[in-house]
Chains A and B, each alone.
Chain A
Amino acid sequence: MAGPMKMRATLGSGYTDVRVLMTHPMATEQQTKGQPHFIQNLTVKLNGKTVIEGEISQAVSRNPVFSFRLKGGAKGDKIEVSWLDNKGDTNRTETAVA
């Protein structure tokens, strides 16, 4: 049901930049007359360890894009991003730092 996600993680000097795209309608309360549908929780894991836990709201636009800068990181490190929306739908993607 959940559409595709796409992520890229690139190594800088002493940090890792992560950019992730996700497909989601991000429909607000007002647009849907009381049936909002939006991503609520966002989790970023580095080699299986949670490094970011985010809560987002209806205010984020459709098909959102997030980017993070993580301290450290090395080539080949595994980054995993997952989301959970208010209807219980979820999706995840993972990539290796390049």
Chain B
Amino acid sequence: MMKRALACTAACAAVLAFAPALAQQPSPFAEYQRMATESAPVELFELGGEELWKKPQGPKGVSLEKCDLGQGPGVLKGAYAGLPRYFADVDRVMDLETRLLHCMMTLQGRSREEAAKGVFGNADRPSEMEYLSAYIAGHSHGMPLRPGMSHAKERAAFELGRKLYFHRAGSWDFSCASCHGEEDKRIRMSQLPVLYKPAVARPLIATWPAYRVSNSQFKTIQWRMNDCYRQMRMPEPVFGSEAMVALVQFLTVTAQGEPYRGPAIKR
């Protein structure tokens, strides 16, 4: 776990970008990142997720242990690194969270409404989706990200995701690229990564889902998308929708090949 720490993420990258004169000295942000990683309580979320994975729930009273995340029913090893991907049983592309929601509905017989209620938790009550994401993603640690791109629908999702990334809309006429489209942009000390560039996307996408120190919460990639849409003043995207999966697909394919280093810790 502690080795996960050493990845230089947004904070130290930002310092290197904005203060090249200081680049020779050890960055205080790198030190901060190292210390934060050492004290990351990610393992507690993985433990909580394991319990939920094995816990019988829903009208059918069964656990999620038979859920097929793309590597066969119940196979966790490498499952997260292989997502998003096309699932023939539903004839669509799914990311981890969308697939989990699908398993909650089909295996456990829960309604979409009930299973998707509160998918984004808070510090006092982390959601089931957050715990499960931590547990499942942990089984892909060290494996290269290899989202599906062989099926036509996988490629279509990638194309749709790219369109959405650059599509300006909403009351402020924003797109993802309004903030994440030019190099060397920042908000206070947060660097704004240009996520359509593989070199930038790789280290960042390979660390979601993650524990955020600033608010003591474990957060998933769909939460990240959802919150960016909120910040863009767009209508709230539907959890697990084609559009959300397409964005995740676009970002993950852009970052493909990067060894997965999560679940990580972020500011």
Contact = CB atoms under 8 A, between A and B. Distances in A.
A67 B44 CA distance: 16
B39 interface: yes
Contacts of B40: 65
Nearest to B217: A62
A23 interface: yes
B91 interface: no
Nearest to B215: A62
Interface residues of B, number: 12
Interface string B114-139: 00000000011000000000000000
A4 B52 CA distance: 13
B44 A6 contact: yes
Contacts of A23: 41, 44
Interface string A57-74: 000011111010000000
Nearest to A27: B124
Interface in B32-61: 38-41, 43-44, 47-48, 51
Given A61-B216, A63-B216, A65-B39, A25 B124 contact: yes
Contacts, number: 31
Interface of A is mostly: loop
23 contacts: A3-B48, A4-B44, A4-B47, A4-B48, A4-B51, A5-B44, A6-B44, A6-B47, A21-B43, A21-B44, A23-B41, A23-B44, A25-B123, A25-B124, A61-B216, A62-B216, A63-B41, A64-B39, A64-B41, A65-B39, A65-B40, A65-B41, A67-B38
Interface residues of A, number: 14
A64 B123 CA distance: 14
A21 to B, nearest CB: 5
A8 B146 CA distance: 32
